[in-house]
Amino acid sequence: MRRLRAFDVCSGAGGLALGLERAGFDPALLLDSRRVACETLRLNRPAWNVLETDLLDFDPEKHRECYDVDLLSAGLPRVKSSATTKRVETGEELRLLEATVLLAHAVQPRALLIENVPGLAGAPEFTEVREFIHKELEHLGYKFRWFVLNAADFGVPQDRKQGILVALKDRHIEAFRTPEPTVTSHVSAGKALHASMSARDWVGADAWTAQADRVAPTLVGGSYNRGGADLGPTGTKGTWARMGINGAALSDEVPGPDGIQESDKSGSPLKKITVPQAAILQSFPSDWIFAGGKTNQYRQIGHASPPPVGEALGRAIADALGA
């Protein structure tokens, strides 16, 4: 089967690109503005063509390998609606979204894939953004589909809803089928993390696994500009706690035989997860390496698109392009 070519922007730690690779897409170029993310990509795939630059500054004329690709893909920073935050705070995310759509003018990919917040797919507060996208894509001759996927339906042990845009030309969009769930039952956080929680012979690992009997809440990478590594907003801390997890920070090690995590000075009986465990909850392979310190590693994981979702989307797009 012929390998397809992709151009991936805002690549981050490579979750979407890795999933697309599994689906048969080789990246002609990957682009990200953060040095630590580019280091992560190069550590794991030395042969990948990685460019450290801001999408807003990118000139495709200087990187002609991105032309005539089968797919332009983007796991973009989460867009916030103007109804819930100040316009000045939404500017960069919206500009990156618009830049990705406008990049299709130059690149002319056979397909376009954008992953973002679920509200982008249909919420009223994003109507203006969708209208801009529709106008640009229709001008280029694309037809498109908006839909929402939950990563948990694809074996990811996390309740993570993603708004998806897929655009293709006429005959191919008719052949496109929204990916169906690949699992019949969701994988609980306890099941996903049991082996790592047991790695130092913690006697309470089985009981903890039974308590963590549901998918994890959405991992939130948070802002690169402030704060440390925690698992999400205040509203989800209670959900983490009911699973026996302290969502306020990360640990440097899994529990020892007596359940003690030496780096945890909080005094809480709840267990903190480690960076590798966060990667498990995001369904990265165990050999995927993240550059930077603990907080930077977690940020990359929390912002990533789970590879199994990227793979499912890639297979659906490849099938449509081959029809």
Please give the residue that has the higher pLDDT: either 162 or 228.
162
134-147 burial: b if 16+ Cβ within 10 Å, else e: bebbeeeebbbebe
For residue range 276-294, what is the model confidence (pLDDT) as tens digits?
A: 999 999 999 999 999 999 9
4-183+306-321 is classed in which CATH architecture?
Answer: 3-Layer(aba) Sandwich (3.40)
Farthest CA pair distance, the chain: 63
> Residue 32 forms beta bridges with which residues?
52
Q: What is the pTM of this model?
A: 0.94
Whether the pLDDT of residue 86 is over 50: the answer is no
Res 85: pLDDT: 43
Q: What is the mean pLDDT of the chain?
A: 93
pLDDT at 21 over 70: yes
Q: Which residue has the tokens 């002319």?
A: 108
Per-residue pLDDT at 80: 76
Worst-scoring range by mean pLDDT, 49-63, 89-103, 166-180, 261-275? Answer: 89-103
Q: Is the pLDDT of residue 195 over 70?
A: yes
Q: Among 142, 146, 151, which Cα is nearest to 127's?
A: 146
Residues 199-242 pLDDT 10s: 999 999 999 999 999 999 999 887 776 666 778 788 899 999 99
Burial category of 184 from C-beta neighbours within 10 Å (exposed 0-12, middle 13-18, buried 19 and up): exposed
Task: Give mean pLDDT, residues 77-97.
Answer: 69
CATH 3.40.50.150 in the chain is located at: 4-183+306-321
Separation CA 50–CA 41 (nearest Å): 7
CA distance 295 to 299: 6
